[in-house]
Each structure stands twice: as structure tokens, then as C-alpha cells.
Amino acid sequence: MSIFKSLDIKPWKYNRPADMGRISEIHNWMREFHRMDGVLNLAHIPGDGLVCFEGNHRRLALEGLDITVLADIVWDATNESIKHEFKRLNQSISVPDLYVVENDATVRLNIENAVAEFRQKYPSHESPTARPQRPNFNRDKLTDELFRLQKEKMMSIPDLMARIYARNEQFSRADRSGISEPTIKKCIASGLWLFAWSQTISF
């Protein structure tokens, strides 16, 4: 572990930002059971150094722990070869397109900022599950939706978010028949109606 922690390992530039809440949960679990499940997937890219492209939450959760970890390192890698390996490892998991294809860096950054702002604005609606119940949302699913809409509408992210917030305002005045009372109460309290009817954003 001392050797591992001495390595200069960075997240792969196409990974989604780390969720600090999830890191804390993983850290507590590993501290309690004194183990880390799975393998940390690393790659050495000439010119970029050593990156972790799968397992960053577990890697960051190791802070302050002294346990055995298993790491797999791909040497002399390229971003293209890592994308192929990343897709192979996650073939049964839905991964936002934003992080597995080459995209304009400004668009990617703006989408990340928009998602972060949305999560801060409506924290009571965020769900860690891949299939959240209405009227909640999942961070990765929201990222997918913004990326899809940006490609379809060919809009800037600020304009796209303005349309989304306007759509939310329209939903707040829509007919609420068919929506459960707990859902209505939650939406009234938070002001978020966007996912009360569907997980797909449309306008």
C-alpha cells in the first residue's frame, strides 16, 4: 500500500467526476471489513503518465487505510485502447456517452457544470440508483439526457438549461391527475416537476 500510494495516479480524462458522497461510503465499508473488492484498472499513457480509468471511487476511498489492493496496469496505452477496454469492462452497465467518446472540451465542461448546478439546486430529488423512481433523477441519466438534447437541438448548454428550466415551470402548472400525492407534495416542496411524469426530458 505504501508503494501504491507513492504512485502519481490521476483519473483518466474521460472519466466522470468523482462523487464525494460515494467515496465516503466506500471508505467506511472498506475500513469496517478491511478489504477492497474488485480490481483497480490503471493504464500508463506515454506523455500522460499513470491514469486510473476504472475504480477511481475505490482508489480515492483508500485514503487513510492500509489494506491489500489488486491493480491491473495496461502499459504503453493510448486513449483509444483505453476506451475499448473501458467499454469491455462496462459492457453490461449504462455509461454516459459523454465520457466514452471524443467531444469538444467546452461542451463537456459546460454539461458537467450544468449537472452540478442542477444537483445542488434539487438535492432531495437525486437518486444513486440507475433507475430512479419519479420524480427523482440520477446524475448519470441526467448527463445522458443533456448530452442527447445538446446533440439533437444543437444548442449551447446555457440556452439548453434555460429551456429545461422553462419546461419545468410549465410542468408546475400542468394537470396533476395520475400523479401520486407523495410525488405532488415532494415537487411542491422542491419546485422540481421535470421528472414527475417521465425520466425523459422533452420540449
Q: What is the pLDDT of residues 84-100, one digit of tens each?
A: 888 888 775 555 655 55
Residue 63 has pLDDT above 50, yes or no: yes
Q: How far apart are CA 153 and CA 164, in angstroms?
A: 12
3-state secondary structure of 168: helix
Residues carrying CATH 3.90.1530, the chain: 1-93
Per-residue pLDDT tens digits for 174-200: 999 889 999 999 999 999 999 999 988
Find the radius of gyration of the CA atoms of the chain.
20
What three-state secondary structure class fits 51?
strand
The rounded distance, in Å, linking the Cα atoms of 114 and 159 is 11
CB under 8 Å to 75, separation ≥6 — which residues? 43, 44
pLDDT above 70 (res 126): yes
Q: How far apart are CA 73 and CA 18, in angstroms?
A: 21
pLDDT band at 102 (very low <50, low <70, confident <90, very high): very low
- C-beta of residue 142 within 8 angstroms of C-beta of residue 118: yes
CATH architecture assignment, domain 1-93: Alpha-Beta Complex (3.90)
**Which residues are 126's β-sheet partners?**
137
Entry pTM: 0.55
The residues pairing with 42 across neighbouring beta strands, listed in sequence order, are: 52, 73
Q: Residue 157 in contact with residue 146, Cβ under 8 Å?
A: yes
Burial bucket for residue 3 (CB in 10 Å: 0-12, 13-18, 19+): exposed
Sign of CA dihedral 189, 118, 60, 63: negative
Q: What is the distance between the alpha carbons of residues 109 and 6, in angstroms, rounded to a whole number?
A: 30
